């Protein structure tokens, strides 16, 4: 871990944007304790560049833990209108190498290696759209960025924000959410702790999200675009509930990579023994397959009878290029895709191994 001097920002370069093709170092400038086990880390570009990103995007961090370099994706939690810096918000996970390293070792003035912004968990644009943000635990980060974006835009918004947490003291951004609900017209907040340990006077309901809870809290859920992020069981429940309540599949978007159960899952080397597999949904064919970690999406899809266009099978020609609706992959291409296509949410299934459950628009 290199500790660089905190170089003064060169004022003449303030307007220059972070270039994902050139820039890959972030300077930590602030660490903020959000809850007892969640911290927000704020980074700037060492060259003083501005970040041009969309709310809902993430950075891929390559962290040098001393004995190994580990990669993890973390959603940006800050507003895209605050261009000088980006923040990520990380929950400490028991036994989690990366999250513990960030919590215990990263200090202001240290720099880290990171690629981004990446990802396509973006709020669909267009006037008159109504949203339901559904988040569980530290899955709040991308939807918080989207909520901050909406608030900063000062445009009319119609948002219901439902956040589920383990207990009241685990509610991340609790004060700011209350502030947004007070200030932004058309922003309705529901907080749902699983139990009320530590705050016996909790005024609302507690428990897990359910069909009856969602239909009471969000009676017009069927008219809303649902953006969901959280642990896998939470997202599975959320998806089933909103589908039953009439939300068409096209209006349900989810981001899954930073769900706590996967956050610290070991990444397999090529050819290593497989113990884990990921669920890959092919949205247009309504087919779901399991792909073992360490295997490419294309080879497993073919084996299981799913037809995808392809030719070179090693990331060269780009024939298999597909939209990755959600999830993250480890992609080793040979020039068949451009960084700006990756940024726009495309990937090459022939040379990509899943790092989480995936939804592919094929």
Partner 1 sequence: MMSQVASPSISALLDARLAGHSLPQGLYTRPDVFEADLDVLFRKHWIYVGLECDVPEPGDASVVELGTSSIILLRDDDGQIRVVHNVCRHRGSRLLPPGPSVVSKLVCPYHQWTYELNGELVHAPHMGIDFDKSCRNLKPVTFRSIGGLIYVCLSDNPPDDIDRLVEVMERRLAPYDIRNTKIAFQTEVIEQGNWKLTLENNRECYHCSSNHPELCVSFIDLDFGYDPQSLSEEDRADAERHQALYAERTERWEAEGYPSAAVEQLVDCATNFRTQRLIIAGNGESQTPDATAASAKLLGSMTRKDLGDTHLWGHNCWNHFMGDHAVTSLVIPLSADRTLVRTKWLVHKDAVEGVDYDLEKLTNVWIATTDQDSELVARSHAGITDPAYEPGCYSAFTEGHLDKFSTWYIERMRAHGY
Query: What residues make contact with partner 1 under the rule CB under 8 A?
Result: 311-312, 316-319, 335-338, 340-341
Supply the minimum distance, in Å, between the C-beta of residue 334 and partner 1: 9
Nearest distance from C-beta of residue 347 to partner 1, angstroms: 12
Whichever of 219 and 309 has its CB closer to partner 1, that residue is 309
Q: How far is the CB of 333 from partner 1 (least distance, A)?
A: 8
Compute the distance between CA of residue 16 and CA of residue 13 in angstroms, rounded to an integer. Answer: 5
Per-residue burial over 127-146, b = 16 or more CB atoms within 10 Å of its CB, e = otherwise: eeebbbbbbbbbbbbbbbbb
Q: Characterise 294 by phi-psi region: left (phi > 0), alpha (psi -120 to 50), beta (else).
A: left
Nearer to partner 1, 272 or 309 (CB): 309
Q: Give the nearer residue to partner 1 in terms of CB position, either 273 or 335.
A: 335
We find the least distance from the C-beta atom of residue 48 to partner 1, in angstroms, to be 17
Q: Which is nearer to partner 1, 142 or 318 (CB)?
A: 318
Nearest to 78 by CA among 169, 154, 147: 147
Q: Which residue has the tokens 């959320």?
A: 238
Name the 3-class secondary structure at 308. coil
Question: What is the Cα–Cα distance from 183 to 176, expressed in whole angstroms?
Answer: 10
Instruction: State the nearest-atom distance from the C-beta of 315 to partner 1, in Å.
Output: 10
Taking the least distance from each CB to partner 1, the nearer of 215 and 319 is 319
Q: Which two tokens stand for residue 281?
A: 């949904």
Write down the least CB distance from residue 309 to partner 1, Å: 9
Q: Rounded to whole angstroms, how far apart are CA atoms 242 and 296?
A: 31
CA distances from 112 to 27, 159, 356 (A): 7, 35, 23
Cβ closest to partner 1, residue 93 vs residue 312 = 312
- Give, rounded to a whole angstrom, the gap between the first and last alpha carbons of the chain: 41
């Amino acid at each position: 871990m290199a500790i660089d001097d905190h170089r003064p920002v060169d004022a003449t370069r303030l307007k220059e944007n972070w270039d994902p093709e050139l820039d890959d170092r972030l300077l930590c400038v602030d660490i903020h304790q959000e809850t007892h086990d969640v911290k927000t880390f704020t980074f700037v570009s060492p060259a003083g560049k501005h970040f041009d990103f969309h709310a809902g995007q993430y950075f891929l961090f390559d962290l040098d833990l001393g004995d190994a370099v580990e990669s993890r994706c973390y959603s940006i939690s800050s507003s895209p209108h605050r261009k000088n810096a980006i923040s990520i918000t990380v929950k400490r996970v028991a036994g989690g190498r990366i999250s513990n390293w960030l919590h215990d070792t990263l200090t202001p003035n240290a720099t880290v290696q990171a690629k981004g912004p990446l990802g396509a968990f973006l709020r669909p644009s267009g006037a008159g759209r109504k949203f339901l943000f559904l988040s569980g635990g530290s899955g709040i980060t991308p939807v918080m960025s989207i909520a901050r974006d909406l608030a900063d835009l000062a445009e009319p918004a119609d948002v219901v924000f439902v956040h589920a947490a383990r207990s009241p003291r685990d509610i991340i951004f609790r004060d700011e959410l209350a502030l947004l609900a007070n200030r932004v017209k058309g922003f309705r907040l529901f907080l749902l702790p699983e139990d009320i340990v530590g705050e016996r006077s909790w005024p609302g309901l507690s428990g897990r999200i359910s069909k009856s809870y969602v239909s009471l809290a969000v009676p017009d859920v069927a008219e809303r675009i649902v953006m969901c992020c959280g642990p896998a069981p939470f997202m599975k429940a959320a998806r089933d509930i909103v589908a039953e309540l009439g939300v068409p599949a096209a209006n349900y978007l989810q981001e899954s990579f930073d769900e706590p159960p996967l956050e610290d899952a070991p990444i397999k080397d090529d050819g290593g023994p497989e113990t884990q597999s990921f669920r890959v949904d092919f949205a247009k064919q309504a087919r779901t397959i399991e792909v073992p970690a360490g295997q490419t999406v294309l080879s497993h899809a073919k084996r299981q009878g799913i037809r995808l266009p392809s030719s070179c099978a090693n990331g060269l020609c780009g024939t298999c290029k597909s939209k990755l609706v959600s999830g993250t992959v480890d992609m080793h291409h040979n020039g068949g895709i451009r960084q700006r296509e990756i940024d726009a949410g495309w990937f090459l299934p022939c040379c990509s191994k899943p790092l989480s459950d995936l939804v592919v628009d094929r």
